[in-house]
Amino acid sequence: MLRITDRYILREVIPPFLLGLVIFTFLLMIPPIMEVVEELIAKGVDTLTVIRIVGTLVPQGLALTIPMALLLGVLMGLGRMSSDRETVALQACGVSLLRMFRPLLLLALLAAAATCYVMVIALPDANQRFREITFRTVASRAEGEVRPRVFYEDFPNVVLYVRDVSQTGGGWRDVFLADMRDSGQPDVYVASQGQVVLDADQRTVDVVLRSGTGHVMRSDEPGAYEVHSFEEIVIGLDPESVFPRGGPQRGYPELTIAQLQEEAAELSAQGVSPHRPIMEIHRKFSIPVACLVFVLIGIGLGVTSRKDGRLASFALGLMVIFTYYVIMYGAEAMAKGALVSPHLAMWLPNILLGLAGLALFAWRSASVERRIALPFPALRRPPEPKAEAEAEQSVTRGMWSGIAVPRPGVLSLSLLDWYVFRLYGGVLLLGFVGLLGVFYISTFIDLSDKLFKGQTTGLMLLEYFWYATPQFSYFVLPVSALVAALVTIGLLTKTSELTVMKACGVSLYRAALPIFVASLALSGVLFGMSETIMATANREAEALNFEIRSGVRRNRAIDVLNRQWIVAGDGSIYHYLHFDPERNELGNLSVYQFGGEPWGLTGRTFAGAASFADGWPGRDGWTREFT
């Protein structure tokens, strides 16, 4: 049975917990939503399917955000109570920290149960459902992926270019297809009509072309060139590109506990270390237990005599979360190197932080008035000057002290404006850094296995973070501005400062002017980022992400010279195999010229090398014309 004190503590903790849960989950879902939804909408996927796909992404975020939001809620709730000296009053009335811990323990158990359900049941099913839905959607809409006048290169060893796509499902018109299986001299097919035919049951993918010509040049006979006409030709493609055998494969996060145990047994029978499935089993339970550890740390850090409890608690919470996951993935790396048992690795962060939480809890129980000094001087509120204390005493004795409130102009910033701006700026900065830290934590969790497996280096990971920061900031800054505005107005209202401003003739609009000006400045910053550094930084980050995940270095420069297929203004198609920037030379350059009615290939030119000098003179080449 919960008593009044228990319900009061829960009412203080649950709102910031729910708010943090929504904000953290929303922020972590922004990148996959933007990546997946945009692609699906471009393919014409219906709204219901898009909503279903987005819904399958939620458990992946909740597995990470429930413990994070719980720690944030405990720190901010108890921080608010501590700033108003309510925790001191409770202890003075005989309510110990252990007694305050009881309702929080109940909340932690509920959060742990929810996280355990997500990790053990919801996450495997949701991840696999996401992959199956997207698998079926992409397979059923492969024809619709081809857009007019855009090179389509998703089919292996085939490049497709069409001038028009029927909106009623009638296929393509004016089709150019290059079969790149012989990369030196591709076989070229030009047709009036075409379409892709999929058969999921037979697992076949065919491109059917009608009314066209085929151009074949044998690599073993450079002088031989064959041209043949056809009414219909079927070009078979690799079905694995659309229908992977057995559908999308389950990774370790998508496996159930029984399947992970079977996988561990199979690896052991093969003489391979089964540390990965073993650690995945323990991870499904260690992260839920982290809810209990976070509550223990939260009550130790949240019960303090500081007046800036909420802001400081937010920063402390992020530090604890980042420390937890660094220890977890460090332990995973040690388990891979046989330095730690895989049965123990996932529990190390709970053990270490749990011991720290117990020590902190005992220390707080001995003296709740002890303070933890944070390395944020801006968050430390200086003691009230003696003159202000004497002025308060004079008012209590009935003496009137006139308060001169300046009347600021419309465009000038007064002392009052700077006060509001400093309050807003402090919350904005802390919120921005905190939410940015959430992105760093989630990205580190996503890429840490590549680091600990030796597939990448810490320096490359830091470089990726550097180039990804502008995009992360672009996501986080608007949310931080909204939260800062709400918190600032809420603090001014709670302390009755907004009421005093109105009583002194300062309207709500005038009081909010610093927030509005700061918001305009932030809008300008976002616009400037999108116009200057975002494109370059995103290209670098995408290339680094590809290199980290695949181990293959990709050219990061994106310009005309990196497109191996180019369409000229007159409709001609240019193709080359490589570009030498030192010589300013294109290698194996082919030029395809089109015209006539019906549309067809009228000329083809090949040059072994072509360099720019008053045009593009080539060498080691040939030219053919067709009628």
Give yes or no: residues 104 and 73 share one domain: yes
- Name residue 107's amino acid: L
DSSP character string of 432-497:
HHHHHHHHHHHHHHHHHHHHHTTSS-HHHHHHHHHHHHHHHHHHHHHHHHHHHHHHHHHHHHHTTH
Q: Decide if 249 is inside a domain.
A: no
Instruction: Give the C-alpha separation, 624 to 213, whole Å.
Output: 15
Give yes or no: residues 114 and 163 share one domain: no
Instruction: Give the C-alpha separation, 551 to 545, whole Å.
Output: 10
Give yes or no: residues 310 and 338 share one domain: yes
Mean residue pLDDT across the chain: 78
Q: Is pLDDT of 522 > 70?
A: yes
Give yes or no: residues 134 and 155 share one domain: no
DSSP 205: E
Q: Is pLDDT of 113 > 90?
A: yes
Measured in degrees and rounded to the nearest 5, phi and psi for residue 469 equal -60, -45
Give yes or no: residues 444 and 509 share one domain: yes
* Residue after which a domain boundary falls, among 524, 558, 592: 558
Q: Are 255 and 266 in contact (CB under 8 A)?
A: no
Q: Decide if 390 is inside a domain.
A: no
Give yes or no: residues 417 and 452 share one domain: yes
Q: Decide if 247 is inside a domain.
A: no
Cβ atoms within 10 Å of 139's Cβ, excluding its own: 15
DSSP character string of 495-517:
TTHHHHHHHTT--HHHHTHHHHH
pLDDT for position 314: 65
Average pLDDT value for residue range 371-382? 47
List the single range of 168-177, 405-414, 471-480, 481-490 with lowest mean pLDDT. Answer: 405-414
Give yes or no: residues 449 and 550 share one domain: yes
Q: Decide if 401 is inside a domain.
A: no
Ramachandran assignment for 128, one of left (phi > 0), alpha (psi -120 to 50 degrees), beta (any other): alpha
Radius of gyration of the chain (CA): 32
Cβ atoms within 10 Å of 286's Cβ, excluding its own: 20
pLDDT for position 312: 59
Q: Decide if 578 is inside a domain.
A: yes
Give yes or no: residues 523 and 620 share one domain: no
Give yes or no: residues 34 and 119 share one domain: yes
How far out from the chain centre does Cα 36 lie?
Answer: 12
Residues in the chain: 627
Q: Decide if 377 is inside a domain.
A: no
* Residue after which a domain boundary falls, among 241, 264, 290: 241
* Residue after which a domain boundary falls, among 505, 533, 558: 558
- The pTM (predicted TM-score) of the whole model is 0.62
Q: Are 443 and 461 in contact (CB under 8 A)?
A: no
Q: Decide if 250 is inside a domain.
A: no
In which band, very low, low, confident or very high, does the pLDDT at 292 lie, cut at 50, 70 and 90?
very high
Give yes or no: residues 31 and 134 share one domain: yes
Structural domain tally of the chain? 4
Q: Decide if 389 is inside a domain.
A: no
Give yes or no: residues 452 and 590 share one domain: no
- Name residue 177's amino acid: L
Q: Are 83 and 309 in contact (CB under 8 A)?
A: yes
Give yes or no: residues 510 and 587 share one domain: no
Helix pair 97-117, 275-302: axis angle to 10 deg? 150
Most confident of 52-56, 183-187, 388-392: 52-56
Q: Domain span at residue 452? A: 413-558
Q: Is pLDDT of 305 > 50?
A: yes
- Its sign, for the CA torsion 509, 515, 520, 526, is negative
